[in-house]
Amino acid sequence: MGRRSTVFWSLLAAGGILLGANQWLAARYVTVEPGWVRPAASLVRVQGRQSRENLLYAVVRLRPAGVVDAVRAAFDPLVELIPAPGGSLNGPGWEEYGRQLEQDMDESRAVAVAVALRALGRRAGEEGLRVGEALLEPPGVDAGEAAVVGASAGLMMALEVYAQLHPAGVPARRRIAGTGQLDAGGAVHPVGGVSQKIAASAAAGADVFLIPRGNLDDVKNGGSLLIIPVDTFEDALAALRRLEAVED
């Protein structure tokens, strides 16, 4: 066998191995990367009230992984490889993941509204007070990609409801992004993808990023963002009041 023939078959074998590895990774793993940032007002609104749209929620982006992504994940802290939801990007597991995201969002919105109204000493159903969804972003799950919107938007939705009802309670000249799962008692729980959400928020021009205190060790580089860890919804309000005082 000549030298050229040996090289050809070696390259062909390497290409086959690379293609097989790529298909294997794509079927079983996804990359987690910075997604996009949008106003929390696109998720929840109070009828008859306006939003300054300076409270932002961030999402991560999932897509099938490949060999190149595996290499990127080894060197880029904003790229992570995780098992695909449901074990595969195809079939009922991925579809179930989408349904679960929708359910998580619905439950998170209800909790956020209740926590915000309680902080204001109000309740849903009062005369002239109706709270509901606005332009709810779908989870974006399809056969190839997902923008993950779920329970992690709870903190920012609660702050948005609070701000629409009590604008003076939130700094007007700050673009405040954040993440965190809110429970009915007002506690803020850790979530995934914090580094990616911070990066997306910085790119979107946010000034401040609120995170669950339990995620503080996950912050790799906040850049120019002011990172504020909180344990509860009340902590978040207190932090925003301090920012308001600084602005004044």
More confident residue, 71 or 200: 200
Question: Does 117 fall in a domain?
Answer: yes
pLDDT attached to residue 132: 62
- Of 170, 199, 103, nearest in space to 211 by CA: 199
Question: Does 80 fall in a domain?
Answer: yes
> Total domain count for the chain?
1
Question: pLDDT per residue over 122-149, tens digit each?
Answer: 776 665 566 665 544 434 444 445 555 6
Question: Does 112 fall in a domain?
Answer: yes
Question: pLDDT per residue over 154-181, tens digit each?
Answer: 999 999 999 998 888 888 889 999 999 9
Question: Does 12 fall in a domain?
Answer: no
Residue 224, CA atoms < 13 Å, CB-side half-sphere: 9
Say what the alpha-carbon torsion angle 87, 93, 96, 101 is, to the nearest 10 degrees: 30
Question: Does 218 fall in a domain?
Answer: yes
How many helices (H) and strands (E) are present in the chain, helices listed first? 6, 11
Q: Judge whether 155 and 219 are in contact, CB under 8 Å.
A: no
Question: Does 5 fall in a domain?
Answer: no
d(CA 33, CA 73): 10
CATH number at residue 236: 3.30.230.10
Question: Does 241 fall in a domain?
Answer: yes
Percentage of residues in the chain with pLDDT exceeding 90?
A: 33
Question: Does 17 fall in a domain?
Answer: no
Tokens of 18: 């690379």
**Residue 234: which domain range?**
27-247
